[in-house]
Amino acid sequence: MAKEHREIRRMEIEPAENGGHTVTHNYKERPRHSSKMGVMPGYEEPEHHVFGPEEGHEMLAHIANHLSIPEGKEKDEPEREEKEKEAEE
């Protein structure tokens, strides 16, 4: 069963006790329908994701995925890699 898309209102990144980081997703409230009360604002429980000290790349990929940031190399990245290699030599 696919998870329903919820719109993120805010993301928080904080240091975690394990030396890594905790990423918290706060979602926009969606209206709830009640037969007795009509339409009411609904509360969306925040989600917490903990990443260890060696999981920086995984954390960044997680954030990029939730914010719909496309992955891939920047246009100038191959050129930058060449310059870094030359500098090392």
pLDDT digits (tens, 9 = 90+) for 40-85: 777 788 999 999 999 999 999 999 988 888 876 666 556 656 666 6
pLDDT band at residue 30 under the 50/70/90 scheme = confident
Residue 2 lies in a domain: no
User: What domain range includes position 14?
Assistant: 8-88
Residue 3 lies in a domain: no
Residue 24 lies in a domain: yes
Residue 1 lies in a domain: no
In the prediction, which pLDDT does 1 show?
45
The residues, any chain, with a CB within 8 Å of residue 52's CB and separated by 6 or more, are 18, 19, 20
Q: Is 84 helix (H, G, I), strand (E, B) or coil?
A: helix
CA distances from 40 to 6, 27, 28, 45, 46 (A): 17, 16, 14, 16, 19
What is the number of structural domains in the chain?
Answer: 1
Between residues 29 and 38, the one the model is more confident about: 29
CA atoms within 13 A on the CB side of 52: 2
In the prediction, which pLDDT does 59 show?
94
